[in-house]
Amino acid sequence: MAAALPPATLEGWYALHQMFAVDWARLGAESADRREALLTEAAAHFSAAASDAGWSAAFQLVGGGADLLFVHFRESIDEIGGVETALRRSRLAAYLRLEYDYLSVTEAGLYHLTAEVAREHEPGTEGYDKAIAERSAQEGASHQVKSRLYPRIPEEMRYVSFYPMSKRRVAGDNWYLLPIDVRSQLMRDHGLTGRRYAGRILQVITGSIGLDDWEWGVTLFARDPLEFKRIVTDMRFDEVSARYGEFGRFFTGIRLEASDWQNLFAP
Ligand code: 76R
C-alpha cells in the first residue's frame, strides 16, 4: 500500500500556552505597596499592544486546576524561549507555579490543495513538489490564511478555551492511513460546521506534532462561553471528531485587562 500523503501545511507564529497556579498566601502576605508594584508590572507586560511580531495575553482560568493562563505568540521559537526566561526572571514569578504548558506553531493544513495536486501529479515527483510549493505560496498570500497564521486577539471576545488534541491511530480508525481525498473531504465537512460559528467563535489552530505531547492545540475565543460548549458538541458529531478525535485537558478562561489585575489579586 502506498504511504498516505501528508497534507501540505503553512506555519506562522510560534505559540506558548502557560498555565500557572498562584501562591495566594504568599502574595497576600506582601505589603500593599509591593503587591501593587508587582501587579502593575505584570499588567503592563500583558497590555503591550499586539504587533506584527506577535502578542501576549493573560486570562483568569475558571476551574482547570490552575489560576492563570498566559498565551504568547512570537515569530520564532527563540523569542518564545526569551518570553519564558523573562517571565521566570520577573518579580511575579516568585508567586507562580507552572501547572501545564503547551508549545506549538500556528498552522494551516492545506488538505484540499494537496488532494487536488495529487490528482494532477505523481507525489514525490518534481512536478508535484513544484505545484505544491507554488499553490501553497498563493494560499499563504491570501488574507484568510494570513489571519490564521498571524491571528489578532479579538478584543470583543473575552472568553478563551484551550485544549490539545490528536487524531486517532488505532486499528480500523487510523487517520494517518486514510487516503488524502478522504481526509480532505472530512476536513471540508469540519470546516463547514466551523463556518456556522463565523463571528461567534474565532479558532486558532496550532500544530504541535514533534513539539509537544498532542498533535494540535485548539484555542477558541468567544463572546459567550456557551459557544464553546455548542461548537465542541456539534463537532463531536462530525465524523472527523467522532471517529478520529482524541482530546487532552480543557482550560477555560476570562481575559484579564490591565484594570482587572488589582481586582483579581486584592487581598
Ligand atoms: O478550509 C476549510 O473549510 C477548513 C478550514 C479548517 C481547518 C483546516 C478549520 C475550520 N479547521 C481546520 C483545522 Mn478547525 N477546529 C478544531 C476544533 O472539538 C473538536 O472536535 C475540534 C476542535 C474546533 C472547535 C475547530 C473550529 N481544526 C483544524 C485542525 C487541524 C487538523 C488537521 O490538520 O488534521 C484541528 C485539530 C481543528 C480542530 N475549525 C474551522 C473550527 C472553526 C470554527 C472553523 C471555521 C472557521 C474558519 O473557517 O476559519
**CA–CA gap between residue 62 and residue 159 (Å, rounded):** 10
Of 188, 207, 199, nearest to 224 by C-alpha is 199
Percentage helix, strand, coil, to 5, in the chain? 40, 30, 25
Instruction: Look at residue 1 in the predicted model and tell me its pLDDT.
Output: 47
- The residue whose grid cell reads 498565551 is 71
Ligand 1, pocket-test mutation among 190, 214, 241, most atoms within 8 A of CB: 190
Q: Considering 150, 163, 176, 197, which one is annotated as catalytic?
A: 163
Q: Is the CB of 231 under 6 A from ligand 1?
A: yes
The residue-averaged pLDDT of 237-265 equals: 93
Polymer length in residues for the chain? 267
Nearest to 218 by CA among 162, 260, 258, 266: 162
C-alpha pair distances (Å), 207 with each of 10, 125, 196, 201, 216: 10, 26, 23, 19, 4
Atom of ligand 1 minimally distant from the CA of 7: 33
Q: Compute the distance from residue 260 Cα to the ligand 1 centre, in Å.
A: 31
d(CA 4, CA 179): 6
The counts of H helices and E strands in the chain are 10, 11
**Ligand 1 atom with minimal separation from the 215 CA:** 36
Strand ranges (E), 111-158:
none
Regarding the beta carbon of 232 and ligand 1, being less than 6 Å apart is answered yes
* Spatial distance between the Cα atoms of 221 and 11, rounded to a whole number of angstroms: 20
For residue 190, report the distance from its CA to the centre of ligand 1, in Å.
6
3-state secondary structure (DSSP) of residue 243: helix
The answer to whether 163 is a known catalytic residue is yes
Distances, alpha carbon 221 to alpha carbons 44, 86, 224, in Å: 22, 26, 9
Note the pTM of the prediction, 2 decimals.
0.96
Determine which helix (DSSP H) or strand (DSSP E) holds 44, and give its type and residue range.
helix 32-47
Q: Is the CB of 150 under 6 A from ligand 1?
A: no
pLDDT value of residue 45:
78
* C-alpha cell at position 203: 479558532
Nearest CA to 70 out of 24, 95, 38, 101 is that of: 101
At 169, the pLDDT band (50, 70, 90 cuts) reads very high
Condensed to tens digits (0 to 9), the pLDDT of residues 210-227 reads 999 999 999 999 999 999
Residue-wise pLDDT tens digits, 192-206: 999 999 999 999 999
Protein residue whose Cα sits closest to atom 2 of ligand 1: 191
Interatomic CA distance for residues 161 and 152, integer angstroms: 16
Percent over 90 (pLDDT), the chain: 86
- Which of 187, 230, 241 should be mutated for ligand 1, with most atoms under 8 A from CB? 187
Closest Cα to atom 34 of ligand 1: 109
Lowest mean pLDDT among 30-39, 108-117, 142-151, 256-265: 256-265
